[in-house]
Each structure stands twice: as C-alpha cells, then as structure tokens.
Amino acid sequence: MEKKNIDWQNLGFGYVKTDYRYVSDFKDGAWDEGRLTEDATIAISECAGVFQYAQTCFEGLKAYTTEDGKIVTFRPDLNAQRMADSARRLEMPVFPEDRFVEAVAEVVKANAAYVPPYGSGATLYLRPFMIGSNPVIGVKPATEYQFRIFATPVGPYFKGGVKPLTLKVADFDRAAPNGTGNVKAGLNYAMSLHAIVTAHDEGYDENMYLDAKTHTKVEETGGANFIFVTKDKKVVTPKSNSILPSITRRSLMVVAKEYLGLEAEEREITLEEVKDFAECGLCGTAAVISPVGKIVDHGKEICFPSGMSEMGEITKKLYDTLTGIQMGRIEAPKGWIKEIL
C-alpha cells in the first residue's frame, strides 16, 4: 500500500483530515449497523444535547507500525471498556465493546496510508467519541446519539529530545470526590482549560491537581496520570476514585513488575512525601511517559534528582520497555497487541 506523502517526523499533535471515519447512530433504543464515511462533518440540531449540556465522552488510542511492518493497536479492548464506563456515568447508551474494537480496526484499515512508517516516531492517533445528537432543552439525557471514530497522524512526542516538565501545584480542582474525574468526559477538560492557560501564562508546563476535599493528596494532571519512583526503586502511583484510569499507567505498572522485576504499588500519595521521590513521570497515550523535573508548590520548589535534562533511570527503562512492546521489539503480554494489517 502506497503511504501518503507526509513529512512524518515534523508532524505535530494536530488534526489532519484523513480519508475515512466510522459512524454509527443510536435511535429508537438501538445502534444502527454503522458505516465508514468520507464526510468529516456532522450536521445536527443547534439544540443537540452535546451543545446544551455537554453530553459527550471520548477515547484516545494509537495505531503503530511495528518493526516487522505490521499495523497494530495497543489494548483497544480497554478503551472500549472505559468508554462504556464513561457512557454509563453520563446516561449515554453503551456502544458495544466488541463493536468498538472492530470499528477501530476498520478505521485503521481504511486509513492505512496514513499510518506512519516504523522508525519515524509518528503514529496514527484514533479518537472515538460519542455525542447526544437530538434536541434537548429541558435538562435530561438525549434520546439519540452518534458514535464516531476519526484518525489523524501525529508526530513524535519528544521531537527536540526529552525535556523534563515543570509543574505547578494547582489551586483549581480537576475532579470532585463523587464527580466525573474517573470517566473520560469532555466536561472535565472544558473546566480545566482556565487552569492550564493560567499555568502556561505563569511559565509552567502542567498542573498537578490535588484531591478536592483535603488538598493534601496527589491526583493527576489535566490529561495524564502520575507515576513516581522511590529512592529504593519502587514504582508508586496515586490511588483515588477521582483519577482517570490511564491505560498507559496500568500497563506501566505491569511492565514494572513483570518485565523489570520492580515492586509497583497503587496507594494514596501525599503532596508532603513527593519531595522524597527520586523520579516522577506523567503517563498517557500521547507521550507514554513524560519526565517531570520540577514541581512548584506556591514558591516552594521540589526538584527531582533526575534533573531537567533527561529521563530518570527507571522512568527510561519503563519507557523503553513499553514502547518496545508497542513497536513489536519486545514480546507483549497476551492480549495487549491487536494486529490489524
């Protein structure tokens, strides 16, 4: 198959229109059979539930070209499951998990010419999402929905090399104790935009959010989970029911235990103890792990020994192992890699 003429290395993280997307509509209590379409636009009522009461949730995953030239996705079944959880929390119909995984494969196949070649560092990012599509003016769930998956090629995350991030301990909250922080809802992002723009204006890369109730425990950033490495090389990650369960983070915890022979634990982590950690990283599909060099808590600086120029030792091992698994250089645990082409 002929690849598109794209400068893969210099792609950013932005929307590039590809040839096909998957669409399925929910009406009269059932999903239709679904289809691929070349139409990248959606025409719906100005009063649709998504516009009035933000009834929308989404997912994010990638397709990769492996070392031996196959096209694969990484644990799409977990995205399907998480989207089902998001839908239930937002009173939206669940798009069946097996159909989700099939639809992902269909979109990747149809856009195979946009899947960046092995070694370019670029990937095909997939964005499944669902919206309430019929008019809703009284506050209630929509009765009609659209599920859609589009694809867009994205460039290598660490383009100019790895640059550890500087974080700010946020005064804003991301998620309430019994709120929607554990589901991938657009609304969680809408209300985080002011906090991230403020952090950027002040010269920080990201916000570290604390638990909304006590402001003493570490939660996550706007779009990535934390992992920390203790001085005796134990991998720890915050436990809270208002954190979004990152698939990358859950996979890294398995990699730490099963591949690197490290202890790995999910537990409550206080802001107070962060200064004692050796390494800190942010995990998510986009970067796998971005190292954090410094966290500023109202003028008080926490500087990790790994510094501001490279990944910490364990962070690097976790990164290399997981990306090795995704790119087919390292044997994956059973069921992690779904071969598409």
Residues catalogued as catalytic: 184
Q: How far apart are CA 145 and CA 130, in angstroms?
A: 7
**Rounded to the nearest whole angstrom, what is the least distance from the CB of residue 194 to ligand PLP in the complex?**
16
Contact (CB, 8 A) for 203 and 193: no
Torsions phi, psi of 264, nearest 5? -140, 130
**Rounded to the nearest whole angstrom, what is the least distance from the CB of residue 167 to ligand PLP in the complex?**
14
Count of beta carbons in the 10 Å neighbourhood of residue 130: 25
Pick between residue 173 and residue 220 the one whose CB is nearest to ligand PLP: 220
Tell how far CA 192 is from the center of its chain.
15
**Rounded to the nearest whole angstrom, what is the least distance from the CB of residue 265 to ligand PLP in the complex?**
18
Pick between residue 144 and residue 206 the one whose CB is nearest to ligand PLP: 206
**Rounded to the nearest whole angstrom, what is the least distance from the CB of residue 37 to ligand PLP in the complex?**
26
Torsion 7-9-14-18 (CA) sign: positive
**Rounded to the nearest whole angstrom, what is the least distance from the CB of residue 4 to ligand PLP in the complex?**
25
Count of beta carbons in the 10 Å neighbourhood of residue 171: 12
Torsion 14-16-17-23 (CA) sign: negative
Contact (CB, 8 A) for 229 and 315: yes
Q: 216-253 b/e with 16+ CB inside 10 Å = b?
A: ebbbbbbbbbbbbbbeebbbbbbebebbbebbbbebbb
Q: Is 147 helix (H, G, I), strand (E, B) or coil?
A: strand
Pick between residue 136 and residue 208 the one whose CB is nearest to ligand PLP: 208
**Rounded to the nearest whole angstrom, what is the least distance from the CB of residue 246 to ligand PLP in the complex?**
3
Pick between residue 287 and residue 295 the one whose CB is nearest to ligand PLP: 287
Q: Which residues bind to ligand PLP, rule: CB under 6 A? A: 60, 184, 220, 223-225, 244, 246-249, 283-285
Q: Is 253 helix (H, G, I), strand (E, B) or coil?
A: helix
Length in residues, the chain: 341
**Rounded to the nearest whole angstrom, what is the least distance from the CB of residue 28 to ligand PLP in the complex?**
32
**Nearest-CA neighbor of 277 among 313, 314, 304?**
304
Pick between residue 153 and residue 284 the one whose CB is nearest to ligand PLP: 284
Q: How far apart are CA 161 and CA 336, in angstroms?
A: 28
Torsion 176-126-35-33 (CA) sign: negative
Contact (CB, 8 A) for 42 and 146: yes
Pick between residue 133 and residue 237 the one whose CB is nearest to ligand PLP: 237
Pick between residue 146 and residue 248 the one whose CB is nearest to ligand PLP: 248
